[in-house]
Structure 1
Amino acid sequence: MKVILGICGSIAAYKAATLIRLLVKSGADVRVVMTPDASNFITPLTLSTLSKNPVLVDYFTPETGEWNNHVELGLWGDVMIIAPASANTIAKMAGGLCDNLLMAVYLSAKCPVYFAPAMDLDMWKHTATQENIDKIRSFGNTLIPPGTGELASGLHGEGRMAEPEEIIDFLFSDIKSKQPLANQKMLVTAGPTYEAIDPVRFIGNHSSGKMGFAIADELAKLGADVTLVSGPSAQISGEHSVKRINVTSAAEMLDACLQNYSNAKACIMSAAVADYTPVTVAQQKIKKKEDGFSIDLKKTTDILNELGRKKSTGQILVGFALETNDEEINAIDKLQRKNLDFIVLNSLSDEGAGFKKDTNKITIIDKALVKTVYDLKTKDDVARDICAKIVELIKNENI
């Protein structure tokens, strides 16, 4: 997330350092814009060091003579936060007064704007301030309410800027609540399964888990509460809200899925689950003695088929088909046998698709056998296409 952080002249400006650290820790790219008065309370050098980006104060940077493009910055941000927002800046926001760079960026911003007031009790309670706040909220800006406590004047009451942790919680909760999958529970599987032969050997496959992790992250970005059941994989989710359950075998993946399936609105089964597992597992490492060696295998429980049998009304179940021949015939057969809402087909014969690649080329086939063919894309972009289909199904259901 690209965050524009505006800082005004207030004793609460010192909290901006912690706020920046929390935003950066969450994965945000933070650009700071200060009013000239704000630099009397905290130095641009401190904020530049924490944000890892230059801090802008004036329209021109004297050292370089460069013009700081407020329009460009306003278009860049995904979200703008003004914290602390002083009574003076709130009045300017209400009146559209543009006498510093921060106000120029605010008036140019196309993204959602949040503001966290910081001022003394009497200033906060003043009718003019409250009318200004009501006015800028009517513009679509979001108030992060101040707290109650000891103020710089020595008074005790409202007007204290919300703590950085509270601002972060408020921001992410508010953003999530406005996403198309807000409060929807999603279950995703990813990666391979390893079926033990002995304590050091296993039967597995080449799945990296990249596709499943990309889907889980995209669902989280769309506001969903995501549970990711992952086989052995070195992948790391880019979204902190994704709940990861690590498993090894197909049996463990089945158990984890069954425990989380009933509450899930949608389940996207992208894991490459083993079809067979050894009948017996040696308790000690098998030594190389004979010229030949055979392993008796038995079928694993078909997780996707099991979930299809248990699917309730309104649930969405998505499967994957990685094929090497008769691709569409096999995919449609799987779609219908396993009670899926749609299936994602890809072929190992397609250049750039398959295990461990950063790209994929898919075809989505739905229950009506409507086929949508996509170009070769990064797996992040493929995840967006798959999740867009899920959003569409949920939206159509609610119309």
Structure 2
Amino acid sequence: MTLSGKRILLIVGGGIAGYKALELIRVLRKRGASVRCILTKAAQEFVTPLSAASLSGDKAYTDLFSLTDEAEMGHIELSRDADLLVVAPATADLMAKMAHGFASDLASTALLATDKAVLIAPAMNVRMWEHPATKRNLAVLREDGVSVVGPDEGEMACGEFGFGRMAQPDAIADAAAALLSGGAASPAKPLAGCRALVTSGPTHEPIDPVRYIANRSSGKQGHAIARALAELGAEVTLVSGPVALADPPGVAVVKVETAAEMLAAVEARMPVDAAVFCAAVADWRVARAGDEKLKKTPGGPPSLGLVENPDILATIAKRTSGRPVLVVGFAAETEKVIEHAKAKLARKGCDWIVANDVSTPAGGTGVMGGDRNTVSIVTRDGVETWPILDKTAVAQRLAQRIAEQLKDRQWV
């Protein structure tokens, strides 16, 4: 997604994630944007103005009261000369200042003085991210039209795990490009009014009260997609099999166990505008699950008669009425990835297949349940292969693609 000719004012907040701002400058410039930087006082503890200036090819600004800077490029001009303001990392402190209109330093003053779009990439400790004050500030910023990318889930510098890691530079650049594309009436919420449904995780098909058939799906990709769609303004329902993940914020979650329960939950929520079937549904179930725990016997293992589970993707894609405008399926493959994905696209009747390579090590990202994904978008028009990305970045790219596909649609 190009940023050719665009002017971006990058505001770097204080925090260990500040080191990613340097890579973000590289990514933005590689995509054709010119970048000018403002560093807060706290940011300078992690990133030097010289580093930012060297990578951006322009002066890095730090001081609100520099008479030289005010004569050459005042804080008003700094904010208005740009096409987009990007705050990365957006700390809890910076978000609070933005939400309440503070203008106590160059960064907050430029943000208050701008009449251009603003994109923030939050980064902070998970407890700070989950604090009610931060949630209130985030709600105010969204209401003011500020766009948000991330934060990602993962291990933090402090040793804790959860949401609070700054989004990857590629994901931030994608979000910036989408905002500047001019395709949506409301750049911050291109999916506002859209109803979306996402399935996620595995299904558990009981053998007896203590055993079941399942797979290695963690639900990380499906949950990330639900979150990304919600961040673009969609009203999202997530139908999830058993996972060890927190519910994505701003998403209605329906929890199920089996494929039959998942299909029933999906059909109960039709119609929707977009449906993304990311769940790794078990292909088979035991024809007759035991009422009691099956015991070992001298005669050897019991014979488990298997029957096919309902095909949720095909059922929805082939609906004669109330079919979603866009139906997206997933195909986890270990070999002949594109060939199998094309066959699945034709067989299921969906619009896109997101083919992910779970082979090891031949170009794939390993066993299901990892933190990264190698995907190709397969449609009737062709194949688009993405580089290896973390699952949050995959989700954000996919959500943006869905928003572009559904542009100018009338919502159900």
TM-score bracket, shorter-length normalisation = 0.5 to 0.7
The aligned amino acid for 1:249 is: T
Tell me, in whole angstroms, the C-alpha distance in 1 between the residues paired with 2:223 and 2:266.
16
Match of residue 388 from structure 1: 400
Tell me, in whole angstroms, the C-alpha distance in 1 between the residues paired with 2:342 and 2:336.
10
**Alignment pair present for 1:357 and 2:370:** yes
Tell me, in whole angstroms, the C-alpha distance in 2 between the residues paired with 1:82 and 1:320.
39
Match of residue 270 from structure 1: 278
Match of residue 28 from structure 1: none
| Inter-CA distance 313–261: structure 2 relative to 1 (3 Å threshold) | closer
Match of residue 306 from structure 1: 315
| Inter-CA distance 105–379: structure 2 relative to 1 (3 Å threshold) | closer
Query: Secondary structure of 1:298's partner?
Result: strand
Give the Å deviation of 1:325: 3.2
Residue deviations 1:254-294, cap 9 Å, x none?
Answer: 111111131x1101000000111111111111111132321
Question: Contact between 1:340 and 1:367, CA under 8 Å: does it hold in 2?
Answer: no
Q: Which residues of 2 match residues 1-399 of structure 1 at below 5 A?
A: 69=63, 76=87, 81=97, 102=104, 104-109=106-111, 113=112, 139=115, 170-175=140-145, 178-237=188-247, 239-262=248-271, 264-289=272-297, 290-310=299-319, 312=322, 315-349=325-359, 350-368=363-381, 370-395=382-407
Give the Å deviation of 1:251: 0.6
| Inter-CA distance 184–84: structure 2 relative to 1 (3 Å threshold) | closer
| Inter-CA distance 107–165: structure 2 relative to 1 (3 Å threshold) | closer
Tell me, in whole angstroms, the C-alpha distance in 2 between the residues paired with 1:4 and 1:376.
26
Question: Contact between 1:214 and 1:379, CA under 8 Å: does it hold in 2?
Answer: yes
Tell me, in whole angstroms, the C-alpha distance in 2 between the residues paired with 1:362 and 1:141.
30
Tell me, in whole angstroms, the C-alpha distance in 2 between the residues paired with 1:266 and 1:246.
20
| Inter-CA distance 230–164: structure 2 relative to 1 (3 Å threshold) | closer
What TM-score, normalized to structure 2?
A: 0.59
| Inter-CA distance 81–104: structure 2 relative to 1 (3 Å threshold) | same
Residue deviations 1:136-156, cap 9 Å, x none?
Answer: 89x5799xxxxxxxxxxxxxx
| Inter-CA distance 84–395: structure 2 relative to 1 (3 Å threshold) | closer
Match of residue 121 from structure 1: none
Tell me, in whole angstroms, the C-alpha distance in 2 between the residues paired with 1:396 and 1:215.
21
Question: Contact between 1:187 and 1:226, CA under 8 Å: does it hold in 2?
Answer: yes
Give the Å deviation of 1:301: 0.8
The aligned amino acid for 1:375 is: P
Query: Secondary structure of 1:334's partner?
Result: helix
Give the Å deviation of 1:56: 8.5
Question: Contact between 1:187 and 1:268, CA under 8 Å: does it hold in 2?
Answer: yes
Instruction: Tell me how many residue pairs correspond in the alignment.
Output: 278
Tell me, in whole angstroms, the C-alpha distance in 2 between the residues paired with 1:179 and 1:272.
29
Residue deviations 1:112-143, cap 9 Å, x none?
Answer: x5xxxxxxxxxxxxxxxxxxxxxx89x5799x
The aligned amino acid for 1:371 is: V
Residue deviations 1:299-318, cap 9 Å, x none?
Answer: 11100111012264661100
Question: Contact between 1:4 and 1:81, CA under 8 Å: does it hold in 2?
Answer: no
Give the Å deviation of 1:107: 3.4
Residue deviations 1:302-338, cap 9 Å, x none?
Answer: 0011101226466110001112333223211211222
Question: Contact between 2:203 and 2:257, CA under 8 Å: does it hold in 1?
Answer: yes
Question: Contact between 2:317 and 2:323, CA under 8 Å: does it hold in 1?
Answer: no
What TM-score, normalized to structure 1?
A: 0.60
Query: Secondary structure of 2:353's partner?
Result: strand
Question: Whose Rg is larger?
Answer: 1
Residue deviations 1:18-71, cap 9 Å, x none?
Answer: xxxxxxxxxxxxxxxxxxxxxxxxxxxxxxxxxxxxx999xxxxxxxxx97558
Q: Which has the higher contact order (CA 8 A, sep 6+)?
A: 2
Question: Contact between 1:192 and 1:274, CA under 8 Å: does it hold in 2?
Answer: yes
The aligned amino acid for 2:300 is: D
Structure 1: where are the runs of 5+ without partners? Answer: 6-54, 58-66, 90-100, 114-135, 143-162
After superposition, the CA RMSD in angstroms is 3.8
The aligned amino acid for 2:252 is: K
Question: Contact between 2:337 and 2:355, CA under 8 Å: does it hold in 1?
Answer: yes
Tell me, in whole angstroms, the C-alpha distance in 2 between the residues paired with 1:313 and 1:279.
30
Give the Å deviation of 1:348: 2.6
The aligned amino acid for 2:384 is: T
Identity %: 32
Tell me, in whole angstroms, the C-alpha distance in 1 between the residues paired with 2:324 and 2:263.
21
